[in-house]
Amino acid sequence: MRGPHNIIRLVRTGATLERTGAMGVIMDAMDAPPLVRGTLRFLAWPFQWLGLRGDPSMPPATRALTALGPAYIKFGQILSTRPDLVGEELATQMRVLQDKLPPFDTALAKASVEHELGRPVEALFDEFSAPVAAASIAQVHKARMRDTGEAVAVKVLRPGIERAFRVDIDAFYFAANMIELLSPSSRRLRPTDVIAHFEGVVMGELDLRLEASSASEFAANTADDAGFQLPAVQWHLSARRVMTMGWADGVPLGDNAAIDAAGHDRVALGNRVLQLFLSHALRDGYFHADMHQGNLKVAPNGDIIAYDFGIMGHIDEYTRRVYAEILYGFIKRDYRRVAEVHFEAGYVPADRDVDEFARALRAVGEPIFGMDASSISMGSLLSYLFEVTERFGMETRTELILLQRTMVVVEGVARSLNPQINIWQVARPVVEDYIRQSLGPRALAQSLGRTAMVLSRFGPRLPQLVESVLIRASAPRPEPPRRDRRDLALWGIGGAVFGAALVAAGVTLF
């Protein structure tokens, strides 16, 4: 599936961008260098007749990405949250990609519901509306449950969506392999691993049972978060291609005029959406990884409502602590510490100079402080940060891709609500609270306590485990060590480990 035939798909991508006029629009919006602009258009122009025509009623960029399919629409959704990168006009045009794409026929949706749930729509719902929102993967219908009368949102996957994504992902794999083959310097970015990560995320999004499970876990984690609410999952009306949740009444977070008319404070909302994301990522290690405006509303009481849980991010506790220390170092302007954390975590090769890396990080961070967001060229900062990572041989960290991508999206949402927001000032209380909870003496005691609990479960087996290790280590020797000495060593090691567990437990208890 990933052979040279994918060249046709990639050529068609460039041809579609050129034929619809999107190539020039995107290059202009992102202020692409003349060499890049000229090269891409030179390669695409002869093949534009192969390009997809799209819907002529749509603006060029939206028209091209919609015609190319769901994977490209996902890319456009990210750009729609970054007016600072692509300009306000293009970002506004692309916002329709979040939930205003052309829907598929309601009859097909009803047939899918009946097939998945085993009963006709009329037996389950008193009402079942035409599509109220349509995105790249699924569309949503408003319905009313027959047994309770409760208003719900019924999400139904698009017909044939699995195959459509498979075609795009295969082409992306081919492109990544070609990049690694033709440009050895790009291998540090691990493009194939990045596509594999993207594939895993997308495949999970195509099973709505997993999304329902994610929503349930996320709700449990955030039950006590002030100013935040989630619709409840209706498990008996959910399956692989259909998911039913409570209906979320509110104003779309992307409609500033409606937010103002409803009397909500956009500055407070911008701060809250950023702080909620950081709190979920750092505190829980489990966060909504698709937090664009199309998946967020403002309730009448001012709460932020999140929905669409197809993409959720998870980071382990160690990575959370590293990420928090990096953020905290930037907030405190302690670039030496930020550099040291990168080296300690293995993000930068050990043979590089830590002081030089710290100076490079200072050049990234210093322009942010003392300036409002509208005065910062995020494009320039990202460009320079990319140069820094290349110069110091940093590889792409696939475990952080979703975190980094979501941070970009959430920052874009916050900026759309309050263009003057300073992300570092808003992030500071959340990061400082996490540092206090997770990196201080109390956190150390808790970690030792958890270690003691794990060791206590293995305590009775320690001699056997250690003996197995020593036997394997000594197997090549012609004469094994004497039994009495080995027993003494085994019990000595076991006693030392068990003693450490007791000390750890003592630290926790007292």
Q: Would you name the residues annotated as active-site residues?
A: 290
CB-based burial of residue 63 (10 Å sphere; 0-12 exposed, 13-18 middle, 19+ buried)?
Answer: buried
What is the C-alpha separation between 348 and 116, in angstroms, rounded? 49
Q: What is the 3-state secondary structure (H, E, C) of 404-471?
A: HHHHHHHHHHHHHHCCCCCHHHHHHHHHHHHHHHHHCHHHHHHHHHHHHHHHHHHHHHHHHHHHHHHH
Distance between CA atoms of 243 and 245, rounded to whole angstroms? 7
Q: β-pairing, 312-314 with 304-306?
A: unpaired
Bridge partners, 289 (sequence order): none
Task: Give the relative orientation of helices 34-44 and 6-19 as an angle to the nearest 10 degrees.
Answer: 110
Distance CA 321, CA 176 (A): 31
Write the DSSP symbol of residue 281: I
Strand-pairing partners, residue 154, are: 141, 244
CA distances (Å), origin 416, targets 83, 273, 299? 8, 11, 18
